[in-house]
Amino acid sequence: MKKVIHTDKAPKAIGPYSQAIEINGTLYISGQIPVDPATGKVADTIEEQTEQVMKNIGAILEEAGYTFADVVKSTCLLSDMANFKPMNEVYAKYYSTNPPARAAFAVKALPMGVMVEIETVAVK
């Protein structure tokens, strides 16, 4: 049975979607952007934005009873591939061993003019 996951420790959805859906031991986390859920603000640098995205993902994982060790796939969307290296350096801190499969793409634009969005799939 499908279960909707929501936490106030991650930004509210800005459209008709859920923060995450869990079904059959798999957690599908919608693309997270670097909005601080406490302030609604977005940091200036790609490093700070990536850190906030990862905190948002971590909050949703925790709410659903998962950890970063359960993540099997990430998709990283960047507004500029020039930000790949600094994004990757922050991202790597969260997956120091057995990192998930991943794709990274440059896109024309992201919601709210942010530089990075990451969607995540975790399995128990």
pLDDT in tens, 77-97: 999 999 999 999 999 999 999
In whole angstroms, give the CA distance from residue 10 to residue 31: 12
- CATH label of the domain that carries residue 60: 3.30.1330.40
What is the mean predicted confidence (pLDDT) over 54-75?
A: 98
**79, 115 Cβ separation under 8 angstroms:** yes
pLDDT band per the 50, 70, 90 thresholds, residue 14: confident
Give the model's pLDDT for residue 61: 98
Give the pLDDT band (50/70/90) at residue 18: very high
CA distance 100 to 4: 23
Enclosing domain of residue 35: 3-123
* Number of domains present in the structure of the chain: 1
Mean per-residue pLDDT of the chain: 97
